[in-house]
């Protein structure tokens, strides 16, 4: 069968499918304390949070505000979503700051879950299979992502959080944990059986889809359930999400030179546009996190020395205006992402 690569086997393999497996390998090799404690080394935070997690948020710019044609077509959407996100964020934070962080955490989880579903659909686009098979694929990709989150909610004592401590509610529902666990393993078993049956019938295997499902299961299960360390969770969560997302943006909307510019410089796009792409993402991520650190958190002075001159904001009425503003790139990214990959808008 024709394999449904986004670009080609090498690119997809390196930047979309391999990240969760490579992240899991690195986690296995880490000292035990990074798998079982809240310890997060500074270099790990810079690489994973700053240069991958925060940076990938800004990659959305290349598909939205930096894309003149698309911006003109969807101007109202691109302008109203940030405004709505900010006003909603201010309202929530004014009432209760925890409500703001909780809403943002659940919005982020929804975004992360839907990304895996989206990739699965991309890798299923050439499948000639019965409808029930596609339905099972959908159930499995949601189970692979949602079950670990349910387990997290029902298991106190995790050494990590999404944004801040307490951003997830944690009810005591033992029956739900048992039921969800049974359904999770049942769905995985059905998926393996279904793929075995399809292969026996056609002698064909959809490699990217199956690797995506396996990588999703691995990163979410080991990152949340198997290990209980902040570094382990962050590595498996961020690498498996951020790198494939930036790869998809790179394929569809990377910065391009006009033919005239390319001829005048004598340089091809591939020789330096990646440098422009990642440098801009890194700079924007650094500026955002510097503002967070200088104005709100004060946690990484060695990384954001210049920003320590900013006044530390502690007044709640000012934080209600400032925090949603600083979080606006994330909120906009989460919401806009639900619109910019719709079929009619795919490159």
Report the pLDDT averaged over residues 205-226.
Answer: 98
Q: Write down the pLDDT at residue 275.
A: 86
Q: Write down the pLDDT at residue 344.
A: 56
Q: Write down the pLDDT at residue 255.
A: 67
The string of pLDDT tens digits covering residues 109-137 is: 999 999 999 999 999 999 999 999 999 99
Q: Write down the pLDDT at residue 315.
A: 97
Q: Write down the pLDDT at residue 256.
A: 62
49, 234 in Cβ contact below 8 A?
yes
**Residue in 110, 46, 81 with CA at minimum distance from that of residue 328:** 81
Q: Write down the pLDDT at residue 276.
A: 87
**What is the pTM (predicted TM-score) of this model?**
0.93
47 or 342, higher pLDDT: 47
**Residue in 137, 100, 315 with CA at minimum distance from that of residue 212:** 137
| CA R_g for the chain | 21
Report the pLDDT averaged over residues 56-85.
Answer: 95
Query: Residue 26 phi/psi, 5° resolution?
Result: -65, -45
Report the pLDDT averaged over residues 192-209.
Answer: 96
**266 pLDDT higher than 50:** no
Q: Write down the pLDDT at residue 319.
A: 98
The string of pLDDT tens digits covering residues 46-63 is: 999 999 999 999 999 999
**280 pLDDT higher than 60:** yes
Non-local (6+) Cβ contacts of 309 within 8 A are 294
Q: Write down the pLDDT at residue 41.
A: 95
Q: Write down the pLDDT at residue 271.
A: 57
As a whole-number percent, the residues of the chain with pLDDT over 90 amount to 90
The string of pLDDT tens digits covering residues 299-317 is: 999 999 999 999 999 999 9
Other C-beta atoms lying within 10 Å of the C-beta of residue 234:
23
**270 pLDDT higher than 80:** no
Report the pLDDT averaged over residues 280-303.
Answer: 97
Q: Write down the pLDDT at residue 272.
A: 62
The string of pLDDT tens digits covering residues 144-164 is: 999 999 999 999 999 999 999
């Amino acid at each position: 069968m024709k394999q449904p690569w986004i670009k080609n086997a090498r690119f997809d393999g390196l930047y979309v499918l391999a990240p969760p497996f490579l992240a899991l390998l690195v986690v296995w090799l880490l000292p035990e304390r990074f798998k079982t404690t809240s310890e997060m080394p500074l270099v790990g935070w810079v690489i994973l949070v700053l240069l991958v997690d925060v940076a990938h948020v800004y990659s959305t710019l290349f598909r939205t505000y930096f894309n003149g044609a698309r911006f003109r077509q969807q101007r109202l959407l691109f302008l109203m979503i940030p405004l709505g996100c900010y006003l909603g964020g201010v309202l929530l934070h004014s009432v209760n700051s925890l409500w703001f962080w909780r809403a943002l955490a659940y919005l982020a989880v929804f975004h992360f879950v839907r990304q895996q579903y989206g990739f699965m659909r991309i890798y299923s686009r050439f499948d000639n299979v019965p409808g029930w098979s596609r339905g099972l694929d959908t159930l499995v990709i949601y189970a692979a992502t949602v079950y670990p989150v349910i387990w997290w909610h029902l298991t106190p004592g995790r050494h990590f959080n999404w944004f801040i401590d307490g951003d997830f509610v944690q009810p005591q529902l033992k029956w739900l944990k048992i039921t969800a666990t049974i359904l999770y393993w049942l769905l995985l078993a059905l998926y393996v059986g279904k793929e075995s049956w399809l292969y026996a019938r056609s002698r064909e295997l959809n490699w990217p889809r199956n690797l995506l499902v396996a990588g999703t299961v691995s990163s979410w299960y080991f990152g949340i359930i198997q290990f209980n360390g902040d570094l382990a969770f962050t590595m498996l969560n961020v690498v498996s999400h951020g790198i494939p997302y930036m790869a998809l943006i790179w394929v569809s909307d990377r910065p391009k030179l006009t033919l005239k510019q390319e001829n005048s410089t004598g340089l091809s796009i591939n020789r330096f546009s990646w440098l422009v792409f990642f440098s801009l993402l890194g700079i924007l991520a650094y500026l955002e996190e510097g503002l967070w650190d200088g104005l709100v958190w004060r946690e990484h002075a060695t990384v954001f020395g210049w920003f320590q001159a900013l006044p530390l904001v502690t007044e709640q009425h000012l934080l209600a205006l400032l925090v949603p503003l600083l979080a606006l790139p994330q909120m906009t990214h989460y919401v806009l992402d639900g619109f910019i990959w719709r079929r009619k808008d795919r490159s």
